[in-house]
Amino acid sequence: MNTKVMARNGRREAERAAKGSVTEGAARAGFTARGVIYLLVGVLALQIAFGDKGHQADRHGALAEIAQKPFGAVLLWALGIGLAGMAVWRLSEALFGSTGPDGRKARKRLLSLVRCVFYAFVAYSVLAFASGSGSGGGSSDKQSKDVTATVLQWPAGQWLVALAGVGVVVAGVWIAVQALRRAYHDKLKFGALSPRTRRLVDVTGVAGGVARGAVFAAAGAFAVRAAVDYRPDKAKGLDDTLRTFAATPLGPWLLVCVAVGLVMFGLFSFAMARWRRV
């Protein structure tokens, strides 16, 4: 057997392992962990909307809430491991392609790689928080301001921050549009869903995706404003962005709508954990 045949067989074996039950389990654990975090962030945002300003509606706030509960440490470790599983699954997609007819295209694989890096960072921050050696990434607001201040000092930093902000706005709009188009239908095992369950999945998928997209778009807009004004304090993390919704003419009710949407996205993530084709 020559070297090329051995390499081809080795690749096939690696691809088979990457698409096996272990990777599938890792992906489903990752969706579940994502759902828990979004669900908690949405609940914290609801509490802020109804006057309880002492909470922090972002990942750090969600982790802090979990840590205070019975068996909180165990839950934090489970979340971190689940998110690490999501990163591993996304890495397998980047290496071998995802499900669907265009799953092997370069654009899809690059997107999977970006998601892998993102979830690897989130998993690390959660595990560091669970072990007591980190702060879960710290406040999203402080992180945004610190990163913006650093990048603004770079050559062409103003342009970089502005471009990054525009990219986040575009990503937010794309997320919302994909949710409205119900693009997730192609990724679900719809044959396993009853008509009632399909309707419930659509309600959570559309409402959750639109709310998530709105938050991304708003955060990106604040980054653009920080770049234009050359003021890093104008950049906002998830918590500050959500609080801004309550400061609009619609008052706290807009924040209530967005917060309910984030709760819906958490529930949608649970549905993806159960019925997504991996």
CA 83 to chain centre: 10
User: Are 256 and 211 within 8 A, CB to CB?
Assistant: no
Token look-up 């050559």 returns: 155
CA distances from 109 to 9, 27, 93, 182 (A): 22, 16, 6, 21
pTM of the model: 0.87
Return per-residue pLDDT of the chain as tens, 278 residues.
455 555 554 455 555 555 567 888 999 999 999 999 999 999 999 999 988 777 788 888 899 889 888 888 999 999 999 999 999 999 998 988 777 667 678 888 999 999 999 999 999 999 999 888 666 556 778 888 889 999 999 999 999 999 999 999 999 999 999 999 999 998 898 888 899 999 999 999 999 999 999 999 999 999 999 999 989 888 888 888 998 988 888 878 999 999 999 999 999 999 999 999 88
**Burial group, residue 5, by CB count within 10 angstroms (0-12, 13-18, 19+):** exposed
For 25, other C-beta atoms within 10 Å of its C-beta total: 14
Q: Angle 127-133-139 (CA atoms, 0-180°, nearest 5)?
A: 75
Query: What is the three-class DSSP state of 271?
Result: helix
**In 3D, which of 200, 183, 217 has the Cα closest to residue 264?**
200
